[in-house]
Chains A and B, each alone.
Chain A
Amino acid sequence: DQQVKQNSPSLSVQEGRISILNCDYTNSMFDYFLWYKKYPAEGPTFLISISSIKDKNEDGRFTVFLNKSAKHLSLHIVPSQPGDSAVYFCAASRNNFNKFYFGSGTKLNVKP
């Protein structure tokens, strides 16, 4: 049973436009969420996080929104750049930050 889901396996966006990546979760006990970016043949790198006490966190071009009632979070990238092309994973944890559950990833392609 996958507790964190990314239903869009891929997304293609024009450079300069907004990229919106979505993530849904089923466990209402999750209280901490992260987004990771991954290039082929490399380990994931941390992008941005959000705690359940917030509904928005912003870091430069990246903003994560959390809708607890809908059990949904999204990552907005504005403006999108070709270098943003990668696979993006969302991850969730509850209380114990030792274990994170990952979504299946969304491959973002930003076209020049």
Chain B
Amino acid sequence: GAVVSQHPSWVICKSGTSVKIECRSLDFQATTMFWYRQFPKQSLMLMATSNEGSKATYEQGVEKDKFLINHASLTLSTLTVTSAHPEDSSFYICSAISPVRRGYTFGSGTRLTVV
């Protein structure tokens, strides 16, 4: 139980376009989801906390207008990278509070490459 599905697993897009990444809790309801970004050989960096039915809470230094988060239902949060640039290329991971244990259940991640 407590599975988080993330889609797509990888995407290549052109500079200036927008990309949407979906994060779904498959067998539980997640009022709160989290979006992380991982640069090569670096730690997971928390970008924002996604709250169902309300605005996301962004970490310091994360551009709200660039990384749009929508948590429209108890099982789905989306991250849209708007006007993507090559420096946005990264590995994006979502997570949700696990109902099975204290801690997170992570999605499988999305590799974004902006060309």
Contact = CB atoms under 8 A, between A and B. Distances in A.
Main secondary structure of the interface of A (DSSP, over half): strand
Contacts of B104: 44, 46, 91, 100
Interface residues of B, number: 26
B42 A41 contact: no
Contact of B43 (A34, A46, A93, A103): A103
B97 A89 contact: no
Given A89-B43, A102-B43, A104-B43, A46 B105 contact: yes
Contact of B44 (A9, A89, A93, A98): A89
Contacts of A100: 103-104
B38 to A, nearest CB: 9
B43 A43 contact: no
Main secondary structure of the interface of B (DSSP, over half): strand
B42 A44 contact: no
Contacts of A103: 43
Nearest to A44: B106
A41 B109 contact: yes
B102 A43 contact: no
Name which of B41, B43, B46 has the most chain A CB atoms within 10 A of its CB: B43
Interface residues of A, number: 22
Nearest to B103: A34
A99 B51 CA distance: 13
Nearest to B111: A41
A104 B42 contact: yes
18 contacts: A9-B41, A32-B102, A34-B103, A41-B9, A41-B10, A42-B109, A43-B95, A43-B106, A43-B109, A44-B104, A46-B98, A46-B104, A49-B102, A97-B103, A98-B32, A99-B49, A103-B43, A104-B43
Interface of A: 9, 32, 34, 36, 41-46, 49, 89, 91, 93, 97-100, 102-105
Closest 8 CB pairs of A and B: A43-B106, A104-B43, A102-B44, A43-B109, A43-B108, A44-B106, A97-B102, A34-B103
